[in-house]
Amino acid sequence: MSYVSNSESERNDMLKKIGVSKFEELIEEIPESLRLKKPLALDKGKPEFEVVNILRKLAAKNKDSSEMTCFMGGGAYDHYVPAGVDAIISRSEFLTAYTPYQAEVSQGTLQSIYEFQSLVCRLTGMEIANASMYDGASATAEAVLMALNQTGKNKVYLAPGLHPAYKAVIDAYTAGIDLDIQVLKEDSGLVEMSQLNDIDFDDAACVIVQSPNFFGLIENIKSIGSYLKDKKAMFVVVANPMALTILTPPGEADADIAVGEMHVFGNGLNYGGPYVGYFAAQKKYMRKIPGRISASTEDADGRKGYVLTLQTREQHIRRDKATSNICTNQALCALASTIYMTLMGEEGISTAASESVRKAHYLSDKLAVLPNVSLVYQGNFFNEFVVRLPIAAEEFINLMEKEGILAGIPLFWFYPDRTNDLLIAVTEKRSKEELDAFVDAASRVMKSSKVGVS
Amino acid sequence: MTEPTIFELSVKGRKNNYIKPEDGIGGDIEKMLGKENLREKPAGLPEMTENEVIRHFTRLSSKNHHIDKGFYPLGSCTMKYNPKVNEQVARFSGFSEIHPFQMTGTVQGALHLMYDLAEMLKEIAGMHAVSLQPAAGAQGEFCGLLMTRKYHIKKGNDKETVIIPDSAHGTNPASVTFAGYRPVQINSSADGIVSADELERVIDDKTAAIMLTNPNTLGLFESDIEKIYKICRKHDTLMYMDGANLNALLGIARPGDMGFDCVHFNLHKTFSTPHGGGGPGAGAVGVSERLEPFLPKPIIAKNEDEEYYLSYNRPDSIGQIHSFYGNFAVMVRAYAYILSNGSDGLREVAEAAIINANYLKEKLKDTYHLPFDRHCMHEFVLAGTNQKKKGVKTLEIAKRILDFGIHAPTIYFPLIVSEALMIEPTETENVQALDNFADILIQIDKEIDEKPEFVKESPHNTPVGRLDEVLAAKRGDVAYIE
């Protein structure tokens, strides 16, 4: 199937009008030795129905949520997406537009970005936000880069509960910079508080705390924020937006920057991408933040409109002095989040969040009373928690898979000594029946397992 | 008409009940979360019914120009038609409803697709290995430079700089800085390319890499490339190719054969995945054999039993640059596109893109100044200098183009052409669309002679008139406040 528009005779006619007798004359600037002498070693083009069949077969080799019940989290959650989201983001007007370089014919995109920024600000309690980042991890890494640039310091403190992949991305992003990354001491999965008195935060670029953290635990960001309030180090909070209509938003904890992963609002699991990072900050950092920003303005007749603003921060103007190298971001995913937040409203998001919390607690209570199963942490948690099993978590997951359940994430992948610890996430989509089925299946598979203790 | 914001449309008490609390699941939320951790003030999100929300965003959508509506000759952005079948397959639940941390045994189809896509990209670009992880072109560049850095450190090379042509995309120097190198500019020759002689003058043993866009942003092939390769080898300088313009090379020539050590692919340009008003894209990188050990991890691998898995055992890797494995749903679309086109179709894409650009260039070069008058590849750059002499700037010409239901070309870029209009028609436009665009540009030139004020005050037929960017920056209104 080809999508080339002109017919053979039109093509020949065009070549004539260009003034060449054959196509090859147009590429004479390419040295002869570099021109391919034979076709690429790929299949020839296929008709559309064959392509659909190939993709359908590949899709069928994946066990998706139609056959599995998902209890997996770790930064990607199976929340419900109302049908209205896809209806709008499938519209050609949004789907097939480019970055809004010509504002007068991009008002749909620009106003929706402005609305996205406004929603992010309200949710996080911050004053400004950008149009989006690639994902939660890169948004966090960009926050580190901004803090280094802003403070001129080179020491960064990370909470022990920061998502290991986010830490890995920070490490990769800062490989070219002379940097001292310290992980704060842990107490029961949380930041150990007494150490905060002993650290010289005037000598650091930033402190990064995620809440709810990788283990699902809620950090007391208000307390941490109060320690950092008069210090030179910037306070960066990584927050799951799903929690923010209920839990302390970064703005109420005196955060300088709030970042996070927003796929939970209106973007499906998609095997990890595309997702959408958000980036919000206090107004005083307006000229320091990365990425595109939409702002309101007026046209010649005084009508309201929107444009990309403060572009002198950006790579296409400032080049090597830019605040970031980001160009293309995740606009359509941000639009999906905007539509989600608007459809759900504050009450709807709070309901989705509190149902996730209650169901997670229901499941953790039931699991904790199974023989030889224990909750690893006693702290308050959101919709995700860690259980210690009598068998290896990986084995447990494989056994549960046969029961039609995606049981969670083995912490062993990130912390090699934690073989029996399993991270379980619950969303509002899981019914009581599914939660009970998880408990039944768990009890059954642990009994049947060779190393299981009955 | 001005569309109110969602905050202005909000009416207290309106709602949709997508989620209802389930019976039999109770418990005190405050106790579960801890009283000290609760939000004090409500966020203030809008309250609207579904009908109102859908109408609001539908009305907004009508204010956008988009490729399904009309011509979009935005240079270096490759705004080609986005086939609908790619949208259909990306929405199969087997792709859209799988979790990134599922055991690899349950996602063999996804891994198979990623493995195959990487193999296809390897063949298309003539590279040794491919990572699909970068989320966009700029992240691909950054990834390439981080690998370059690791390569030199491992070899004990003392490198400080990266050479970038004056015609380069802004992301290039920005990525260089963030990777810890210093960009050094090389000036384009009178022919609009990087000459081997000039490179000899600029390069030294501290040069870590050279970043070239090929064809470059003038739409010209870097015809000294073989000499450039030899010079770079002498200094152990790696060659990076910005693949934004890869559309011109499909089935014709390959970066790997030219000696490039790294190239990024913009799946949202060359491989037709929709740009979504500014993303998501995907910026896969291909590398030479010597850079392969440094690829981000995990990479998708296959064992003797034809089972696909995620390989993390890569001690020299630069690590991870994405939360998971990159923009998977974008990869699905690009994969479908490559299957549809095949080897014959991809070559046809490049040929048609080059013919369309040359055809349009010939039609316009008598009216607008063509600074580099020779055959171009997939795009070309005009200069609105004749028009500027008559008092009308390129920005104003661009705004006037919008009145005709067509998007303007990229303007004022590349920086080395004053009053630049960078035009990339792509292969999916027919000859009538090109003729129509040429007629419009010629008409605008006439208007500049006859009624210059009218052109200067454009656009006239767009949802809003010319917007005041200075006012926007002065106000700094980036979030709605009641």
Give me the CATH number covering residue A384: 3.90.1150.10
Q: What is the pLDDT of residue B385?
A: 97
Token pair 């199969």 in the structure block, residue: B92
Residue type, position B315, single letter: P
Q: A248 vs B39: CB contact, 8 Å cut-off?
A: yes
**Facing residue for A380 by CB, picked from B6, B34, B109:** B34
> Which residues of chain A does B330 touch, with a Cβ-Cβ cutoff of 8 Å?
273-274
* Residues A358 and A226 occupy one common structural domain: no
Closest to B44 (Cα-Cα) out of A120, A407, A84, A2: A120
**Nearest CA distance, B450 vs chain A (angstrom):** 23
* Residues A290 and A434 occupy one common structural domain: no
DSSP A318: H
Q: Which domain, by its residues, includes A175?
A: 83-340
Q: B479 vs A127: CB contact, 8 Å cut-off?
A: yes
A280: domain CATH number is 3.40.640.10
Mean pLDDT of chain A: 96
**Facing residue for B323 by CB, picked from A84, A223, A275:** A275
The 3-state DSSP class for residue A286 equals coil
Establish whether the linkage from the previous residue to B414 is cis, with ω within 30° of 0: yes
Substitution target in B7, B93, B97, B228 with the highest count of A β-carbons within 10 Å is B97
> Which residues of chain B does A131 touch, with a Cβ-Cβ cutoff of 8 Å?
278
**Facing residue for B280 by CB, picked from A88, A320, A333:** A333
**Facing residue for A63 by CB, picked from B106, B257, B468:** B106
> Which residues of chain A does B480 touch, with a Cβ-Cβ cutoff of 8 Å?
114-115, 118
Q: What is the pLDDT of residue A152?
A: 96
CA distance A424 to A405: 12
* Residues A321 and A407 occupy one common structural domain: no
**Facing residue for B279 by CB, picked from A46, A70, A328:** A328
Token pair 């009994």 in the structure block, residue: A447
Residue B236 phi, psi (nearest 5): 50, 45
Query: Domains in chain A: how many in total?
Result: 2
Domain-terminating residue out of A316, A340, A364: A340
Distances (CA, A) of A104 to A110, B299, B468, B472: 10, 43, 11, 14
Inform me whether the pLDDT recorded for A3 exceeds 90: yes
Inform me whether the pLDDT recorded for A384 exceeds 80: yes
> Which residues of chain A does B321 touch, with a Cβ-Cβ cutoff of 8 Å?
138, 169, 172-173
Substitution target in B8, B30, B48, B99 with the highest count of A β-carbons within 10 Å is B99
**Nearest CA distance, A1 vs chain B (angstrom):** 5
The 3-state DSSP class for residue A157 equals strand
The DSSP element (H or E) to which A239 belongs, if any, is strand A234-239
> Which residues of chain B does A294 touch, with a Cβ-Cβ cutoff of 8 Å?
478
**Nearest-Cα residue of chain A relative to residue B49:** A343
**Facing residue for A94 by CB, picked from B95, B102, B276:** B276
* pLDDT band, residue A452 (cuts 50/70/90): very low
> Which residues of chain A does B352 touch, with a Cβ-Cβ cutoff of 8 Å?
4-6, 11
Closest to A269 (Cα-Cα) out of B124, B325, B218, B174: B325
Q: What is the pLDDT of residue A249?
A: 98
Residue B455 phi, psi (nearest 5): -65, -40
A411 in a structural domain = yes
**Nearest CA distance, A361 vs chain B (angstrom):** 8
* Residues A277 and A210 occupy one common structural domain: yes
CA distance B259 to B230: 9
Q: B349 vs A4: CB contact, 8 Å cut-off?
A: yes
CA distance B113 to B267: 15
CA distance A215 to A73: 10
Closest to A132 (Cα-Cα) out of A275, A330, A351: A330
Q: What is the pLDDT of residue A46?
A: 98
Residue A190 phi, psi (nearest 5): -115, 170
Substitution target in B64, B82, B358, B469 with the highest count of A β-carbons within 10 Å is B64
Contact A392, A434 (CB under 8 A): no
**Facing residue for B24 by CB, picked from A128, A304, A432:** A432
* Residues A194 and A319 occupy one common structural domain: yes
Chain A / chain B CB contacts < 8 angstroms: 723
* Residues A386 and A300 occupy one common structural domain: no
Token pair 């960078």 in the structure block, residue: B422
Q: A106 vs B68: CB contact, 8 Å cut-off?
A: no
The 3-class SS string of chain B reads CCCCCHHHHCCCCCCCCCCCCCCCCCCCHHHHHCHHHECCCCCCCCCCCHHHHHHHHHHHHCCECCCCCCCCCECCCCCCCCCHHHHHHHCCHHHHCCCCCCCHHHEHHHHHHHHHHHHHHHHHHCCCEEECCCCCHHHHHHHHHHHHHHHHHHHCCCCCEEEEECCCCCHHHHHHHHCCCEEEEECCCCCCCCCHHHHHHHCCCCEEEEEEECCCCCCCCCCCHHHHHHHHHHCCCEEEEEHHHHHHCCCCCCHHHHCCCEEECCCCCCCCCCCCCCCCCCCCEEECCCCHHHCCCCEEEECCCCCEEEECCCCCCCCCCCCCCCCHHHHHHHHHHHHHHHHHHHHHHHHHHHHHHHHHHHHHCCCCECCCCCCCCCCEEEECHHHHHCCCCHHHHHHHHHCCCCCCCEECCCCCCCCEEEECCCCCCCHHHHHHHHHHHHHHHHHHHHCHHHHHCCCCCCCCCCECHHHHHHHCCCCCCC
CA distance A216 to A229: 25
**Facing residue for A51 by CB, picked from B226, B339, B466:** B339
A32 in a structural domain = no
The 3-state DSSP class for residue A374 equals strand
A402 in a structural domain = yes
Per residue in B19-30, pLDDT tens? 999 999 989 999
A316 in a structural domain = yes
* Residues A393 and A329 occupy one common structural domain: no
Q: A406 vs B358: CB contact, 8 Å cut-off?
A: no
Q: A6 vs B430: CB contact, 8 Å cut-off?
A: yes
* pLDDT band, residue A313 (cuts 50/70/90): confident
Buried b (16+ CB within 10 A) or exposed e, A281-307: bbeebbeebbbbbbbbbbbeeeebbbb
**Nearest CA distance, A240 vs chain B (angstrom):** 14
Q: Among 3.40.50.11260, 3.40.640.10, 3.40.50.620, 2.40.50.180, name the CATH number for the domain at B85-340.
A: 3.40.640.10
Domain-terminating residue out of A290, A307, A340: A340
* Residues A214 and A320 occupy one common structural domain: yes
> Which residues of chain A does B178 touch, with a Cβ-Cβ cutoff of 8 Å?
145, 173, 176, 324-325
> Which residues of chain B does A104 touch, with a Cβ-Cβ cutoff of 8 Å?
399, 402, 459, 462-467
Q: A40 vs B346: CB contact, 8 Å cut-off?
A: yes
> Which residues of chain B does A173 touch, with a Cβ-Cβ cutoff of 8 Å?
142, 178, 321
> Which residues of chain A does B377 touch, with a Cβ-Cβ cutoff of 8 Å?
27
CA distance A244 to A123: 6
A47 in a structural domain = no
Inform me whether the pLDDT recorded for A453 exceeds 70: no
Distances (CA, A) of A118 to A279, B15, B136, B157, B359: 12, 19, 25, 48, 45
> Which residues of chain B does A30 touch, with a Cβ-Cβ cutoff of 8 Å?
221, 223, 252-253
Substitution target in A320, A335, A436 with the highest count of B β-carbons within 10 Å is A320
Q: What is the pLDDT of residue A312?
A: 83
Which residue ranges does chain B devote to CATH 3.90.1150.10?
A: 344-456
Per residue in A95-144, pLDDT tens? 999 999 999 999 999 999 999 999 999 999 999 999 999 999 999 999 99
Q: A109 vs B478: CB contact, 8 Å cut-off?
A: no
CA dihedral B432, B433, B434, B438 (to 10 degrees): 100
Contact A212, A184 (CB under 8 A): no
Which residue ranges does chain B devote to CATH 3.40.640.10?
A: 85-340
CA distance B286 to B125: 8
Q: What percent of chain A has pLDDT over 70?
A: 99
**Nearest-Cα residue of chain A relative to residue B45:** A346
* Residues A104 and A201 occupy one common structural domain: yes
Per residue in A66-105, pLDDT tens? 899 999 999 999 999 999 999 999 999 999 999 999 999 9
Q: A362 vs B27: CB contact, 8 Å cut-off?
A: yes
Mean pLDDT of chain B: 97
A285 in a structural domain = yes
Q: How many CA atoms lie within 13 A of A353 on its CB side?
A: 26
CA distance B440 to B401: 7
> Which residues of chain A does B33 touch, with a Cβ-Cβ cutoff of 8 Å?
218, 246-247, 357, 380, 382
**Facing residue for A273 by CB, picked from B87, B89, B326:** B326
Q: What is the pLDDT of residue A167?
A: 98
* pLDDT band, residue A450 (cuts 50/70/90): low
Q: A121 vs B479: CB contact, 8 Å cut-off?
A: yes
* Residues A98 and A130 occupy one common structural domain: yes
**Nearest CA distance, A5 vs chain B (angstrom):** 5
A185 in a structural domain = yes
Distances (CA, A) of B412 to A316, A319, B415: 11, 14, 6
Distances (CA, A) of A103 to A89, A96, A128, B76, B204: 20, 16, 21, 19, 43
What pLDDT tens digit does each residue of chain B (482 aa) get? 799 999 999 999 999 999 999 999 989 999 999 999 999 999 999 999 999 999 999 999 999 999 999 999 999 999 999 999 999 999 999 999 999 999 999 999 999 999 999 999 999 999 999 999 999 999 999 999 999 999 999 999 999 999 999 999 999 999 999 999 999 999 999 999 999 999 999 999 999 999 999 999 999 999 999 999 999 999 999 999 999 999 999 999 999 999 999 999 999 999 999 999 999 999 999 999 999 999 999 999 999 999 999 999 999 999 999 999 999 999 999 999 999 999 999 999 999 999 999 999 999 999 999 999 999 999 999 999 999 999 999 999 999 999 999 999 999 999 999 999 999 999 999 999 999 999 999 999 999 999 999 999 999 999 999 999 999 999 999 999 98
* Residues A74 and A87 occupy one common structural domain: no
Substitution target in A25, A181, A328, A385 with the highest count of B β-carbons within 10 Å is A328
Contact A19, B355 (CB under 8 A): no
Q: What is the pLDDT of residue A454?
A: 40
**Facing residue for A62 by CB, picked from B82, B94, B252:** B94
How far does CA A20 lie from the centroid of its chain? 51
Residue type, position B84, single letter: K
Q: A27 vs B377: CB contact, 8 Å cut-off?
A: yes
Name the CATH topology of B344-456: Aspartate Aminotransferase, domain 1 (3.90.1150)
> ipTM for the complex?
0.97
CA distance B322 to A156: 20
A55 in a structural domain = no
> Which residues of chain B does A28 touch, with a Cβ-Cβ cutoff of 8 Å?
375
Contact A278, A336 (CB under 8 A): no
Domain-terminating residue out of A309, A340, A371: A340
Secondary-structure breakdown of chain A: helix, strand, coil percentages, each rounded to the nearest 5: 45, 15, 40
Rounded to the nearest 10 degrees, the angle between the axes of helix B431-450 and helix A8-18 is: 40
* Residues A153 and A297 occupy one common structural domain: yes
